[in-house]
Amino acid sequence: MGRGGVLLSLLAALALGGCADELDPTYLVVKERVVGLEVGVVGADDGRTSAMPGETLSLELRYGAPDGVVEPTWVLIACEPAPSSFGVPFCGEGEPLAIDAELDLGEGKRPFEVTIPEDYGSDTVLMIGAVCMNGVVDASLNPSDPEALSRICTDGEGLGQALTYEHPLGVDEDAANRAPAFTGFTLAGESWGEAEGLMPGVTSCEGLDLPELRVDDDEVEIGMAVREGDREAYLQRTPDAPEGEPANEDLQITHLVSAGDMERLFTFIDDEALEDIVEYTPPAADDEDVDVPAEGLVVRFWFVMRDLRGGHDVVMRALCVRP
């Protein structure tokens, strides 16, 4: 049997006997995690993400946590990627473009910046590193060493996570990529704005003006709108057009939530789906993993949009689930 047959046999076995229900769904944020990042060219006011030689890229990690509390520290290296066709990317033999670390728990949300040299030899820049959430990262660790990844945080305090990100650089301004952006959200057909006054650490709805749902409610629709023109045109390589053919970006939207169920993890805004509507189901009353207090539980949502060419947008929303 060929490899394809093996693959599909495995798929069939998974479909017939899958047991992934015991694992936390990916969309469920049950612990601190990096939910995305935002990237921009320093000084560019049009949302451009394609840095030209001599320009400086700024990267800011975005975090999520059930209660919203994340105090990160990190160490990051920017470098030219080594040739590799699989596995975790790693730096080439040249000197890193930038090395930076933030070991102060209170300052971890500042951006990481890297300036692209005029004579830079690659069309991407690789950033690798590690973040320790609610703990202090070991600044001496080598992110390319698998053994080191088990001790990202010093003294075992905090939650460590290795990171990698490869960012495409620009060739000329006309072909530059710009970051997409959400323009609005709806919840059950109603406009859904930012959660004003919601501070990290707050899990009770008391004193907050949030849209409300009740446990065991049926699913509701969440709608996301993007800017017209965010699906930028570019040359896409396909089997029929190895040199590339004109295409518009697909926008990948990831939905994350701190409690309850999302219909799916990803949605793509593409030629066939010009808007993202995803269903959300509040937690059940008998859900042992969720404690809904009498005054209501704040449920946080993170919506992450990627154009897969270096453009990112991360937005948070919240609602209140009452008993």
Partner 1 sequence: MLRSVRPLRPLLLGLALAAFSGPAAFAQPEAPAPSEGEAGEGEGAPGEGGEEPGGEEPGGEEPDGQAGEGEGEGQGAVEPPELEPPRLLEFVEADYPSGAEEEGIEATVELELTIAVDGAVTDARVVGPAGNGFDEAALDAVRRFRFEPAKRRGEPIPARIRYRYVFELAEEVPPPPQETDEPEAPAPGRIEGRVLGMEDGQPIQRAEVVLTNADQSIARRSVAGEDGTFRFDELPPGRYTLVILADEFGELTQEEEVVSNEITDVTYRMRLLEADEGEENFFGATAVIDPPPREVTRRTIPREQLTRIPGTRGDALRAIEVLPGVARPPFGTGQLIIRGSSPQDSQVFIEGIPVPQLYHFGGLTSIFNSRLLDRIDFFPGNFSVRYGRKTGGVVEVGVRDPLGIHPQRGIHGVAEFGVIDVSLLGEFPLGENAEAAFGIRRSMIDIVFDQLVPEDLLSVTAAPVYYDYQSIITWRPTDRDRLRLLVYGSSDRFGIVADEALGDDPAIRGNLDLTSRFHFVHFDYDRQVDDQTELDLDLQVGTINLEFGAGDFASFDARFNQIFGRAELRHRPNSRVRLIAGMDIFSAPLTLNYFGPAPQQSEGNPGGDPASTLEREPYTVDAVAYRPAMYFESDLQPWEPLKLILGMRVDYAREIDRWSFDPRMAAVLEVVDDFKIRGGVGIFSQPPEFQETAEGLGNQDLDFIHSVHTGLGFDWVIDQGIRLSVDGFYKRLWDRVVGTENGVPPRFTNGGIGRIYGMEVSGRIDPIDGRRFFGYLSYTLSRSERQDREGDDWRLFDFDQTHIFTLVGAYKLPRGWEVGVTLRLVSGNPTTPIVGSAQDLTSGTYFPIYGRVNSERNPLFNRLDLRIEKQWIFESWKLALFLDIQNVYNQQNQEGYIYNYDYTQRTPINGLPFIPALGIRGEL
The single residue among 79, 304, 319, 321 that binds partner 1, judged by CB under 8 A, is 304
Nearest to 36 by CA among 156, 181, 137: 181
SS (H, E, C) 118-140: CCCCCCEEEEEEEEEECCCECCC
Identity at 35, one-letter amino acid code? V
Contact letters for partner 1, residues 66-105 (x by CB under 8 A) = ----------------xxxxxxx-----------------
Q: Site residues for partner 1, window 230-259 (CB under 8 A)?
A: 237-240, 242, 252, 254
Q: What are phi and psi of 173, to 5 degrees?
A: -65, -30
Nearest to 230 by CA among 44, 40, 38, 46: 46
Task: Pick the closer one to partner 1 by CB: 24 or 157.
Answer: 24
**Torsion (CA) 80, 84, 90, 94 in degrees, nearest 10:** -40
Tell me which stretch binds partner 1 (CB under 8 A): 48-56, 197-205, 214-222, 260-268.
Answer: 260-268
Question: Could you please report the per-residue DSSP string of 171-218?
Answer: S-GGG--B---EEEEEETTEE----TT--TT--B-TT----EEETTPP
- In the block, tokens 């793509």 appear at 268
Q: In the bound complex, what is the minimum distance in angstroms from residue 236's beta carbon to partner 1? A: 10
**Quick count: other Cβ atoms within 10 Å of Cβ 275?**
10
DSSP class of residue 41 equals E
Q: In the bound complex, what is the minimum distance in angstroms from residue 94's beta carbon to partner 1? A: 16
Contact letters for partner 1, residues 191-230 (x by CB under 8 A) = ----------------------------------------
150 binds partner 1 (CB under 8 A): yes
Residue 220's beta-bridge partner residues? 280
- Continuous H helices in 46-152: none
Tell me which stretch binds partner 1 (CB under 8 A): 8-16, 106-114, 174-182, 209-217.
Answer: 8-16
Task: Pick the closer one to partner 1 by CB: 51 or 198.
Answer: 51
Tell me which stretch binds partner 1 (CB under 8 A): 16-24, 93-101, 113-121, 207-215.
Answer: 16-24
Q: Site residues for partner 1, window 264-303 (CB under 8 A)?
A: 264-268
37 binds partner 1 (CB under 8 A): yes
- Could you list the residues that contact partner 1 (CB under 8 A)? 1-20, 22-24, 26, 33-34, 36-37, 61, 82-88, 128, 143, 146-147, 149-150, 161-167, 237-240, 242, 252, 254, 264-268, 304, 306, 308
